[in-house]
Structure 1
């Protein structure tokens, strides 16, 4: 997921967060709610974000249409169309949506009543929706890029337009949705902007249409995607095309004025994809590329098929080349771990970040002469402190209010990569490498959880590893490292000027 760079902290933009009512006990309660009862926000009960997502339906596809006014400090006009299958009988439909204005809602072509409840848009069609039926919900609304208090994520304002950073709980600040990674869907985008702008989104282009002073750009995904991975870039951009391994179409999006300066970095992607394929198998999507945005975010983000980077990371001389390349590989690794194979819950985020950190570190070892074992030994020394501060890798502490990206702490980056290192030491390199390949192949385009990884590791490792993972993923203290009995926890350095105690 999100790769936060501690070397350059930057405050994230804030968005309005409205107070929410308590989560309803079950989907059954949702289904039986009476039409006259007050509208309430719902959720799927995620331990980290309990009000995120909505029970009762499964989204098959989103069609998102945005009209950019030529200024990134004004709301965009938008239409979101959702095709969903009912998994329960519903009298109301809750969608995650906040920080915007709704003009109208239709359900199956007929006007529907709507209201807000917390960060939910609650829709009441003129008829009950039966179990198993397929419904289409169309919402006409604004999509406001302006930041508000006590919220982070959504649109990122760049110097020449916009990009998206919807992780972990912010896609619903941009468009109505079932904003949880357990409900992946197909996406189609239509972005209208004044001539002179370029719009790019996830997936492959399906055409452009010019009409007067505007151009509409359309894109469609060929694989299901979690809402938090959606990406739309609007700016004075150049789109650079090249062929990747096996003819994979690559497209990078960069500020047009900086295309020549950034080309040496863009040219590294084909070899990086080949390197990743040598480790875990074929690239899982229809295209890939990097989006270099003129924005100050403090993080990079693995939006599906088009990873978001700050442009300055590639032009800042303080960053060594090996480090920048390893960060590129981190986000590339997420296309397998986190995008193609998505977390079932946000407590499973260690599967994303631990693996991306693992391949980032492995790449730095093979290409930059920075030994993986040295990094893992340092992580081991700090692991207990990370667990105390952020929780064990598979049971991260919830973020502070208004700081949703606060779940991205060292315990799920190097702390989770340390779990993978321990696993490799426990079952052997050959079994570990086979596990990695089977994991991404068997679970492609799905959402899975920690228990699934434990079962597969046990099957490939040839023994029940439940106890091993229980200690490493959920223990308050870090277990002994297999094969390295000399590795110890390292106390934090004493504050400057403090007296040392004997």
Structure 2
């Protein structure tokens, strides 16, 4: 048979070439970078530089049509390329402009390019796929009353788009979101251009100016009002709220500028291009520090039993994460205490400054529970893995108040001036980067003028809580017997909260 179409001949040759390549390679396998808590998360062999994500939203009952474009650099010769991706259907894949074979193995999407990628070479991956928000309770898309939002922590971004889903590989992001008329789409970063109306849908484009971990990506679609303002030194503020709730929520939105000013006085300049809160009509059980646009449940601001000082301290918790966790990102998930311990620390300091819940009281209460938390969840810097099916099980009290207790002990040991220098230098030295526990110990030792390794080791890794400097009268009770819940211990995957008379959670509850 004579092939008269040049394009058809080329396509058939490419398909034959891919078949030959696949025939000489072993079967594809799921890979990971060996994170102690998520060993199959992340992928070796390349460094992502940027993501360009396009989503077309129809309604909450339909998968979104999506295109993911990844620009990366190979860090090893690659005959195959593994991406983290699940809960979506792939229509096609390309590597460096040529069709690539694709297969799903576990929660990996494995691409076999026509030509192997050389070490150090450019790598552009294009995947056309769907992104399914239906019927999932393990992270990724979160249905709201009027649309969707994202909650990707800790290991759920790959339930939304193909990626290298580990915080150690940060990248720049561009988002292009199309939605029907009457809805508003927002995402991390800043809006590149005015929304573009084409027929019955509108497309919004956003871009980050700073690299971001996949778990911090945020896209929201809904009947939303976008409220702009100005923070310290002209910082653009962008808050996103249900349009029907705008007036009721406005007093809370006006507090953000003051919260930023309060944080800057303690740790230095806010690290990103803008900031705001995304308040969604959704039930998640947590708030989330998605970069530049923190996600909150609307019920937090309902006035139903939550004291105003508590709501503000939670807002400060998520804001503090913009420095601790977002700008400075953990090297491994075992370094989570650096995120949550610091966010809890500034949350507690803020409440203390309001005269509502003293820092010393909170730390003493944490000290009394610390051995129980360590027995249940492991030491702060070596937490136990979450139980199967408990996606947020990693977020236990030991990495919140248990980790803030380490910071309190450090301040007690070296004094407030040295401690404050550590905090400022930490977020300045590792801005837009990744850092781990060893980095923190080394930097703290340098600022204190002596080796703090021996002091911090038992606080970070011990099964028992060390004596608290300056408080010989404090004691940590023995862990509860096996099989019995320790006092104040909540259900698996939830932190042990304090309680108001109305039964609402107080600081120490799960605030991601």
Q: What's the counterpart of residue 488 of structure 2?
A: none
The answer to whether the Cα contact below 8 Å between 1:48 and 1:347 also exists between their aligned partners in 2 is yes
Residue 146 (structure 2) pairs with residue 160 (structure 1)? yes
Displacement, 1:147?
A: 2.5
The equivalences for 1:110-125 within 5 A come to 110-125=98-113
- Tell me whether 1:422 sits opposite 2:386 in the alignment: no
| Cα shift at 1:36 | 2.1
Q: What's the TM-score once normalised by structure 2's chain length?
A: 0.89
SS for the counterpart of 2:349 is helix
How far did 1:369 drift? 3.0
Pairwise CA RMSD: 1.4
Superposition pairs of residues 266-277 of structure 1, within 5 angstroms = 266-277=253-264
Q: Using the TM superposition, name which of 160-169 and 459-468 deviates more.
A: 459-468
Distance 1:194 1:35 in 2: 47
CA shift, 1:74, in A, is 1.0
1:65 corresponds in structure 2 to 54
Verify: 1:320 aligned to 2:320, yes or no: no
Q: CA deviation at 1:109?
A: 1.2
Question: CA offsets per residue over residues 190-224 of structure 1, 9 Å max, x none?
Answer: 00000110000000001221101110000000000
Counterpart for residue 104 of structure 1: 92
Which residue number in structure 1 is paired with residue 159 of structure 2? 173
**2:191: which partner in 1?**
205
Between structure 1 and structure 2, the one with the greater Rg is: 2
Return the alpha-carbon distance in structure 2 between the equivalents of residues 125 and 492 of structure 1. 54
SS in 2 for 1:405: coil
* From 241, 254, 258, the counterpart of 2:228: 241
Task: Assess if the C-alpha contact under 8 Å between 2:372 and 2:480 holds in 1.
Answer: no
TM-score between the two structures when normalised by the length of structure 1: 0.90
Q: Does residue 455 of structure 2 align to residue 468 of structure 1? A: yes
Residue 491 of structure 1, CA deviation: 5.4
**Does the 8 Å contact 2:375/2:479 carry over to 1?**
no
| Structure 1 position 54, deviation (Å) | 0.2
Residue 405 of structure 1: how far off its partner (Å)? 1.0
Q: 1:286 aligns with which of 273, 278, 293?
A: 273
1:260-271, aligned counterparts within 5 Å? Answer: 260-271=247-258
Partner-residue secondary structure (3-state), 1:318: coil
Q: Which residue of 2 aligns with 1:40?
A: 29
Provide the rounded CA distance (Å) in 2 between the counterparts of 1:466 and 1:73: 53
What is the DSSP-based 3-state SS (H/G/I as helix, E as strand, rest coil) of the residue aligned with 1:332? helix
Counterpart of 1:139 in structure 2 is 127
Equivalent residues, number: 461
Residue 495 of structure 2 is matched in structure 1 by none
Q: Mark the runs of 5 or more structure 1 residues left unpaired by the alignment.
A: 1-32, 497-502
| Corresponding residue number in structure 2 for 1:406 | 393
Q: 1:363-442 maps to which residues of 2 (within 5 A)?
A: 363-442=350-429
CA-CA distance at 1:368 after TM superposition: 3.8
How many Å separate the matches in 1 of 2:202 and 2:265?
40
Asked if structure 2 preserves the Cα contact closer than 8 Å seen for 1:35 and 1:92, the reply is no
Match of 1:358, SS?
helix
* Corresponding residue for residue 17 of structure 1: none
- 8 A contact 1:34–1:91 mirrored in 2: no
Q: 2:282 matched to 1:295? A: yes
> Relative to structure 1, is the Cα distance of residues 39 and 367 closer, same or farther in structure 2, using a 3 angstrom cutoff?
same
Select the residue among 456, 477, 483 that pairs with 2:443: 456
Q: C-alpha deviations, 1:287-344, integer Å up to 9, x for none?
A: 0000000001110000000000001100142100000000000000000000000000
CA shift for structure 1 position 35: 5.0
1:256 to 234, 243, 249: 243
Change (3 A) 1:131 1:459: same
Distance (Å, rounded) in 1 between the aligned partners of 2:64 and 2:429: 40
Contact 2:187/2:219, CA 8 A, preserved across alignment = yes
- The yes-or-no answer on 1:53 pairing with 2:42 is yes
Contact map agreement 1:57 1:87 (CA 8 A) in 2: yes
Indicate how the Cα distance of structure 1 residues 285 and 480 shifts in structure 2: closer, same or farther if over 3 A, else same. same
Once residues 424 and 123 of structure 2 are traced to their aligned partners in structure 1, the CA distance between those partners, rounded to angstroms, is 37
Shift of 1:135: 1.1
User: Deviations 1:422-443 (Å, cap 9, x if unpaired)?
Assistant: 0000111000001000000000
Q: Structure 2 stretches of 5 or more lacking a match? A: 1-21, 486-512
Contact between 1:191 and 1:217, CA under 8 Å: does it hold in 2? yes
Task: Decide which of 185, 188, 201 is 2:174's aligned counterpart.
Answer: 188
